[in-house]
Amino acid sequence: MKIALAQLNPTVGDFAGNSAKILEYSRRALQNGADLAVFSELCLCGYLPMDLIERPHFIDRNERELARLAKLLPLPAIVGYAAHANGATGKSAANAAALLANGKIEFVQTKMLLPTYDVFDESRYFQPATAQNVFLFGDQKLGITICEDIWNDKTFWAKPLYDRDPVSELAEQHASLIINISGSPYTIGKRTLRSDMLRSLAKSHNLPVVYVNQVGGNDSLVFDGGSVVVRGELSAAGDLGLGRARRHCVLPVEVRCSLKCSAETSWTRGISTDLLLRLYPVTTTLRDP
């Protein structure tokens, strides 16, 4: 399966502009031969909309725009958005990832782990997921997670913050790869910490991890991108980083693996940006030591 990692710079509240970017880079992904395009956390409405989430019409707009996108996308895509939480109790909104295909919303996974430290206050706005489920896409079982959901690996953290581990729950359901959409802000040392954590996560579960983070700035937050595919100790196709020519990138990544993952996984990449408008094909084959 060939996956396109779309590292964009969305704007909070700009539904028309964000939707246009999603459509544009979905078309580029299709042109590069991708089977699936993956976009970042809350990319439809921009991250983080904070108190806008408490306005019902803002959530309504998210869901209307998502339904419209589903009918227009030229290939299947995973898109982050703010959804209604329809439980009898709790918050009225959820941080969600939708898999759009065949002109409709095929699958929705909401965020389970809601951070309340540093710049984050997500439990103020969102209702957490009660379950984590895989989705069968072709012959692959996708484990779709959102940002913090992958930051609770018991083999990496001496003292995990949460009782539940969404990735472990997906691995128990025989997920063939983990996809994580993020809005992870930059801090000093974050890129090294994130890279080490992703490698540990992939190695401990013996699963490829597809990580897509946004880039650019919103309000007081700066996002450093760094979208990447990782398997064990090896990273695929490098790190998209933050460079000026890589504010918006499409990275097609070919992941060949069975449900148990083969001993060899290869990736093919091609990077195209709205600044360079050229394609740079690079092929890398990585083998486990």
Q: Hey, which residues are catalytic here?
A: 41, 111, 147
Residue 73 in contact with residue 60, Cβ under 8 Å?
Answer: no
Task: Report how far residue 48's alpha carbon sits from residue 45's, in angstroms, rounded to the nearest whole number.
Answer: 8
Residue 151 in contact with residue 193, Cβ under 8 Å?
Answer: no
Q: Torsion angle of alpha carbons 137, 81, 130, 169, nearest 10°?
A: 40
Structure tokens at 189: 């040392």
Shortest CA distance to 139 belongs to which of 229, 260, 251, 26? 260
Residue 229 in contact with residue 257, Cβ under 8 Å?
Answer: no
Structure tokens at 172: 């128990």
